[in-house]
Amino acid sequence: MADILEKILNNLLEPDTALIQQATAQLKEAFKDPSVVPALCTILASAPNPQIRQFAAVLVRRRVAKHWKKLSVELKENLKPVVLQSLQQEHEHKVRHSVAQLAAIIVKHETPEKWPQLLQFITQWTKSSVPGERQVGMLLLSTVVDISTESFKRHFRELMRLFHQTLEDHDNPLVVFYTIQTLTAVVSYMGTDEMNMMRPMIPKLLIAIQALIQHNQDQASEAMEVFDELMESEVSIIVPYLSQIVHFCLEIAANPVLGDNLRVKALSCVSFLIKLKGKAVMKQKLLPSILNVLYPIMCAPPPEGEMDPEDLDLDDDIEDEVEAQTPKHFSAQVIDMLALHLPPEKLFSQLTPLMEPALRSENPYERKAGLMSMAVLAEGCADHIRQKHLHPMLQCMCQALADQSQVVRNAALFALGQFSEFLQPDISKYSDEIMPLLLNYLGTIDNSKGGHLTKAYYALENFVENLGKKIEPYLPTLMDRMLTALCSTSSSRVKELAVSAIGAIASAAKEALLPYFQAVIVQLKGYLVNTSEELRQVQIQSLETLGVLARTIGKDVFLPLSEECCQLGLNLIDHVDDPDLRRCTYSLFAALSVVMGPGMAPHLEKMTTVMLLSIKSTEGVTAHYDNDSKTFLLLDDDLDEDEPITEEEEEEDDADITGFSVENAYLDEKEDACDALGEISVNSGAAFMPYMESCFEEIFRITDYPHVNVRKSAYEAVGQLCCALYKVAQENPTDQNLEGFQKLLAMVFPNYLKTIHEEKDRLVVMTILESMNNVLKNCKGDALKEPGRLDEICKAIRNVLQKKTTCQDPENDETESDEEQEAEYDSMLLEYAGEGIPLLAAAVGGQIFAPYFAGFLPLLLSKTKPSCTVAEKSFAIGSIAETVQAIGPATVQFVPRLLPMLQAGARDTDDEVRSNSVFGIGVLAEQGKEAIFEHYPSLLSILSSIIAREQNRRVVDNVCGAVSRMMMTNLAGVPVEQVFPVLVRSLPLKEDLEENVTVFNCITFMYKNNSNQVIRHLQQLLVVFGEVIGTEQLKEESQNSLLLLLKDISQRFPQEFHNALISISQDTAKKLTALVSS
């Protein structure tokens, strides 16, 4: 049979379609014969053509993998010596590799102990004095260990001793390469003993990879993945060698002779180390070395006659694909990582001396590097830039928009877009300078220049999106330009950009967009019913913009369209198979739920069905096969198509797969499906209940999904589902609803708390804390009925505040002092944790929470020292003040510790710290009552000196709130004759409108207790009342109490009321007269 099979395999390699089809049918028939495996083994041992031998090895392996249990014991035993014999006599690498994979499949089923000859072979050949035999031994070892790592655990110590030797076999690069591959496979399985054995191996690894670079850069790049594995599994091993590894990677990255893939791999290792061990990078003073390598790479011009990929006129997706492979682009990403994980002050002090000369350089690529540096600093160093660098940096970008080099202009647009995204609301203050520049720039661009146009729209969109009312002067120009682009251009890319920009404009303009609403809707509907493939991206963007309009234009305006939009979205999902389109449709459904509420009911079954399919889907998952095997896989599938395969055998069929990847579009689809289901559940109320269980189960299942953004969305969504069920249970408190709510919490809270402690990614932990806070805010005490839950949540918050969670690199904290500066995102994590403290206090009440607050207080007070950052002081004082407000009279015991801190904070140079401290003084006076009375003179003195010179309106508003609280708590302790007139002069509030409730309650209180003061300042008060009544500045309750006050004044003091009315503006007088008469 072997001769016939060999002839069939030969025919399969001929360039003749008819012959291949005939041979395939013959081979399929031959595979029904039980003797096919021995025949293939004969071919493997004797065929003269190496391609046929490899073919035979792959077919035997696939057969063994799928049908191991069906093979006879005799055949299994006979296979083993054939494999070892083949490895000994084979000289072709590809055949050897396939035979080694066959050996690995046998080991996977048999375990190494059941094949002692294999272990003897590996031991003998890896230690052979013949270089070629050492290669074969290490190839076999790396292959079998990779597939059956677990079964080799008992041999790990022996392997470690071997690796110490083979890593030094520099004259035999393949031995070194296979050694590192084997190490990479075992790292995540190693115990403490093996780790200790591996630790001194790190310097040898560096030397070995350096030797590999001279031989084969691709293999060297692959070998460097051992560092990724170590960083993921056991980063503590490499910390003692951090400096050596970073310098090794920098040396590779800085060498322009080496290939881009290897240099990018080296930069990626540096980036990962910064993410995991940013504090250690600082302590070992590695930052200057890193920047001194990155900057020349960023400044380097491309080869003569070429351009950097990001400056070419390419479509975005192609551009992104190319950019990711260049050392220049990745260097900017490393600076981004530095910004996210290092203290801003430290980073700026080292980066500024490189950035400033680059920005002034005559070389456009150096100017570009300076602008790109600024751009990637925006996210991680946002607070630092806001406080110290915003204006000069913006000036630099605005000047660069007029640069003679398109390369520099592109970088300026990107930087402006990044600043606009991460530095709100501060950047909006510069709208009068930036908007004319952007509009002018857009007017000068040729619409055919897709890449440059994209960057201009990116900057414009990000800038206008958060402008609010400041967009109104530019609205006619913007909308005229966008609608003209939609009507007049044939370019689908320009249409897509214009539709996207309209969404950003709508986010800012809200109801002010109404005059253009009908024209926009006509255009969007046209794209949504168009089936043309070339307009697909415009269609997808139209869905997104339609969702923005649903949220912003006003419920009454959009409601008549909502039913049609639901049908449009569902129809598109039925007819177009595109993950991006589904994603944007889900976002539209979420936006429509805001408008329709329970009116979504008729569509919920279909909507939840398609969204759950997206969450469960494995679409977009690509399996990566071993290069030596993929040629034969298609044929092998044909051979087995008639044979039933059991589930267990199906699992074994993955022997050729070396890894998986998932397309971003499908990840985004899962993310948006979770987001949408969470929001729809809250907005549609009881109508969502039939789908609650299935949605919760599927979303909860992916809270451990490998991709960070999917995990974040899943965690947020399960919290929203809890809130949705609680809302229904409050409206309809049946046993089923109440028990269902507690059942969800019993799953969600333990999962949240475990993940807060164990999760490596900081952003996921922030999302969980935010979601947990949302549940506490909405469900209050009912979320804490389970015994011990309050303790557990407080413990988790305390662990974050003490930096003991995994994502905070707790191993590093032994040498860290409280005074040490932190990355802004590290501080932000503490803020998310701190926000839970007042929510817990409000949920359980002051008497229960006071002991917990006593435990938190030292941690919070440690963040209020003068040496702490503005963000730390602001967060800590804000958390303390809000908690004082929540725990009420139980505050008294904390007065001696809190009052000095708040008094000091009220004198701070930072506006936000002063504002929070003043608010804290007010609530402490309100809740501390008699314990504060003796301090009234000193507190009023502080508040008086602030309001006399204060420029910041939020601080002034909080002084008004604090004084109001003090008067309502202890009127006798306040010199009303001096204080009340100052309060009235400071009204109306401008920024902290939440304090309106307190201030107007105080005026009502004064009217009842000292009406003369109110009547004496009636004219000024009527002006204030006229300005705020009937606006969003006042809640309904405050509006009603003010109206009652006005009516009472007009009846009890008619003459004074009339005199005050005639001395204010006619419009205000008319408005107030009408209100009093109603």
The answer on pLDDT for 522 being more than 80 is yes
C-beta of residue 906 within 8 angstroms of C-beta of residue 942? yes
* Angle at alpha carbon of residue 980, lines to 974 and 983, rounded to 5°: 115
Amino acid identity of residue 1070, one-letter, is: K
Cα(729)–Cα(963) distance, integer angstroms: 41
Average pLDDT over residues 956-984: 97
116 C-beta neighbours (distance < 10 Å), count: 9
Q: Mind listing the pLDDT tens digit for each residue in 51-84?
A: 999 999 999 998 888 888 888 889 889 999 999 9
pLDDT category of residue 584 using cuts at 50, 70 and 90 = very high
Choose the weakest-confidence range: 60-64, 268-272, 944-948: 60-64
Residue 557 corresponds to which tokens in the numbers above? 């305006």
The answer on pLDDT for 632 being more than 60 is no
Q: Mind listing the pLDDT tens digit for each residue in 159-195?
A: 999 999 999 999 999 999 999 999 999 998 988 888 8
Residue 282 corresponds to which tokens in the numbers above? 């600082």
Choose the weakest-confidence range: 310-324, 725-739, 788-802: 310-324
The answer on pLDDT for 626 being more than 60 is no
Average pLDDT over residues 573-590: 95
Any bridge partners for residue 624, and if so which? 659
Average pLDDT over residues 207-220: 96
Tell me if the pTM is above 0.85.
yes
Choose the weakest-confidence range: 13-27, 214-228, 251-265, 441-455: 441-455
Residue 831 corresponds to which tokens in the numbers above? 């803020």
Q: Mind listing the pLDDT tens digit for each residue in 480-497?
A: 999 998 988 778 889 999
Residue with more model confidence, 260 or 648? 260
pLDDT category of residue 3 using cuts at 50, 70 and 90 = confident
The answer on pLDDT for 319 being more than 70 is no
Nearest CA to 846 among 813, 880, 885, 789?
A: 885
The answer on pLDDT for 651 being more than 50 is no
Cα(924)–Cα(687) distance, integer angstroms: 44
Cα(764)–Cα(825) distance, integer angstroms: 12
Cα(7)–Cα(26) distance, integer angstroms: 10
Average pLDDT over residues 238-250: 95
Q: Mind giving me the DSSP string for 233-283?
A: H-HHHHGGGHHHHHHHHHHHHT-TTS-HHHHHHHHHHHHHHHHHHHHHHHH
Average pLDDT over residues 919-935: 97
How many angstroms separate the first and last alpha carbons of the chain? 104
C-beta of residue 269 within 8 angstroms of C-beta of residue 226? no
Amino acid identity of residue 889, one-letter, is: P
Who's near 426: CB < 8 A, 6+ residues apart?
386, 390
Cα(733)–Cα(740) distance, integer angstroms: 11
pLDDT category of residue 670 using cuts at 50, 70 and 90 = very high
pLDDT category of residue 886 using cuts at 50, 70 and 90 = very high
Q: Mind listing the pLDDT tens digit for each residue in 403-457?
A: 999 999 999 999 999 999 999 989 999 999 999 999 999 888 766 555 678 899 9
**pLDDT given for residue 658 in this prediction:** 56
Q: Is 858 exposed, middle or buried (0-12, 13-18, 19+ CB in 10 A)?
A: exposed
Any bridge partners for residue 165, and if so which? none
**What does each C-alpha distance from 112 to 140, 144, 526, 670 come to in angstroms?**
13, 9, 66, 41
The answer on pLDDT for 760 being more than 80 is yes
Torsions phi, psi of 659, nearest 5? 175, 175
Q: Mind listing the pLDDT tens digit for each residue in 534-565?
A: 899 999 999 999 999 999 999 999 999 999 99
Q: Mind listing the pLDDT tens digit for each residue in 985-996?
A: 999 999 999 999
**pLDDT given for residue 612 in this prediction:** 97
Cα(78)–Cα(3) distance, integer angstroms: 20
**pLDDT given for residue 664 in this prediction:** 85
- Out of 502-511, 522-531, 624-633, give the one with best mean pLDDT: 502-511
HEC sequence for 457-518: HHHHHHHHCCCHHHHHHHHHHHHHHHHHHHHHCCCHHHHHHHHHHHHHHHHHHHHHHHHHHH
pLDDT category of residue 110 using cuts at 50, 70 and 90 = confident
**pLDDT given for residue 1033 in this prediction:** 86
* Mean pLDDT over the full length of the chain: 91
Q: Mind listing the pLDDT tens digit for each residue in 383-392?
A: 999 989 999 9
Nearest CA to 1002 among 1036, 961, 950, 944?
A: 961
**pLDDT given for residue 311 in this prediction:** 80
**pLDDT given for residue 818 in this prediction:** 47
Average pLDDT over residues 879-896: 96
**pLDDT given for residue 325 in this prediction:** 75
Average pLDDT over residues 960-971: 98
Any bridge partners for residue 623, and if so which? 660
Q: Please state the length of the chain.
A: 1078
Cα(666)–Cα(615) distance, integer angstroms: 9
The percentage of residues in the chain with a pLDDT greater than 90, rounded to a whole number, is 78
The answer on pLDDT for 809 being more than 90 is no
